[in-house]
């Protein structure tokens, strides 16, 4: 199988791609990690685990063509906060188009939860347009994964500030979340069982909690008191209209991944926030 099923992982030195690189290990694939900097510490760590490192840049079509040559599968992800909304869309459409031209059989695009629901959130809407491109290219097989809010985001300095969990959400609003490692586990399964998941579009989540509940989980996990503090949405908007729009949508509508359905179909129980937090100390 490995000689036929070569899988290229974009973002392999980051969160989602890195999680997949770990989860797919030993499952019968030849795994290739695409990175702009093969000499980086993260790339060297992957190479030490037996992952083949491929130089490639989402903004460089020639490097993408080289990286895609001979690949059976691709895990495609782009980073809004690094590239910006417009550039991310260009990167996503470019990679998908070149992958189809290269004869890739199984294309897995990681989007964002609810991207298909006309949210009006700029960095959701651009992913929706990338999804449309993936569908239009008619790969022999494709899967669209839509992970919700990352649990790891709770530890970012713009959320966790000292002993305060800062968010603009009302205290009774429940937010679906997912551990990044679980994204890797779900993604590995859609490669292993490609025939079963062909053509599927799946929202991914592992838990749903309010911000006070998140603060309580972090308090136990980190071993120190964490208090939820609600901040005005106007403060968020000063830094990012896009992010503020997302938070407003969380309060008004929110994600709708079927967590129990995921557990039944994939055969494992997604990580709950309290379990994830317990590993953070």
Total domains present in the chain = 1
CATH of the domain at 78: 3.40.50.720
Do 210 and 247 form a contact (C-beta atoms < 8 A)? no
Q: Which structural domain, as residue segments, surrounds residue 42?
A: 6-147+179-204+256-267
Tell me the residue ranges of DSSP E strands in the chain.
6-10, 30-35, 52-55, 73-76, 106-110, 141-147, 149-150, 160-161, 164-167, 175-178, 201-204, 207-209, 227-230
Whether 91 maps to a domain, the answer reads yes
Q: Choose among 141, 155, 164, 280: nearest CA to 223.
A: 280
Residues of the chain with pLDDT under 70: 1-4
- DSSP label of 206: S
Res 2: pLDDT: 41
Res 81: pLDDT: 83
Res 1: pLDDT: 38
Whether 216 maps to a domain, the answer reads no
Whether 225 maps to a domain, the answer reads no
Reading across the β-sheet that carries 160-161, which strands appear in turn?
160-161, 164-167, 227-230
Res 83: pLDDT: 85
**Is residue 175 classed as helix, strand or coil in its secondary structure?**
strand
Res 121: pLDDT: 98
Whether 166 maps to a domain, the answer reads no
Whether 226 maps to a domain, the answer reads no
Q: Mind giving me the DSSP string for 130-174?
A: HHHHHHHHT-SEEEEEEE-EEGGGGGSTTTEETTEEEESS-TT--
Rounded to two decimals, the pTM is: 0.96
Do 195 and 122 form a contact (C-beta atoms < 8 A)? no
Measured from the Cβ of residue 39, the count of other Cβ atoms closer than 10 Å reads 9
Residue showing tokens 């995921």:
262
């Amino acid at each position: 199988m490995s000689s036929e099923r070569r899988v290229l992982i974009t973002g392999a030195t980051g969160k989602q791609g890195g999680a997949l690189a770990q989860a797919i290990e030993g499952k019968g694939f030849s795994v290739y990690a695409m990175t702009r900097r093969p000499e980086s510490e993260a790339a060297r760590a992957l190479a030490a685990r037996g992952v083949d490192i491929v130089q490639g840049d989402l903004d460089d079509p020639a490097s993408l063509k080289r990286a895609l040559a001979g690949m059976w599968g691709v895990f495609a992800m782009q980073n809004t906060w690094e590239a910006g909304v417009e550039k991310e869309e260009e990167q996503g459409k470019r990679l998908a188009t070149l992958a189809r031209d290269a004869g890739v059989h199984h294309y897995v695009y990681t989007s964002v939860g609810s991207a298909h629901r006309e949210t009006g959130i700029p960095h959701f809407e651009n992913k929706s347009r990338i999804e449309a491109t993936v569908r239009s290219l008619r790969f022999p097989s494709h899967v669209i994964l839509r992970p919700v809010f990352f649990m790891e985001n709770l530890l970012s300095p713009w959320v966790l500030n000292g002993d305060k969990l800062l968010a603009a959400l009302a205290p009774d609003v429940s937010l679906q979340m997912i551990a990044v490692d679980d994204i890797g586990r779900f993604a590995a399964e859609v490669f292993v069982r490609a025939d079963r998941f062909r053509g599927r579009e799946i929202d991914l989540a592992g838990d749903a909690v309010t911000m006070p509940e998140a603060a309580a989980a972090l308090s136990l996990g980190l071993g120190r008191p964490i208090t939820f503090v609600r901040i005005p949405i106007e403060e968020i908007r000063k830094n990012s209209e896009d992010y503020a729009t997302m938070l407003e949508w969380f309060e008004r509508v929110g994600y709708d991944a079927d967590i129990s359905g995921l557990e039944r179909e994939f055969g494992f129980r997604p990580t709950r926030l309290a379990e994830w937090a317990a590993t953070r100390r």
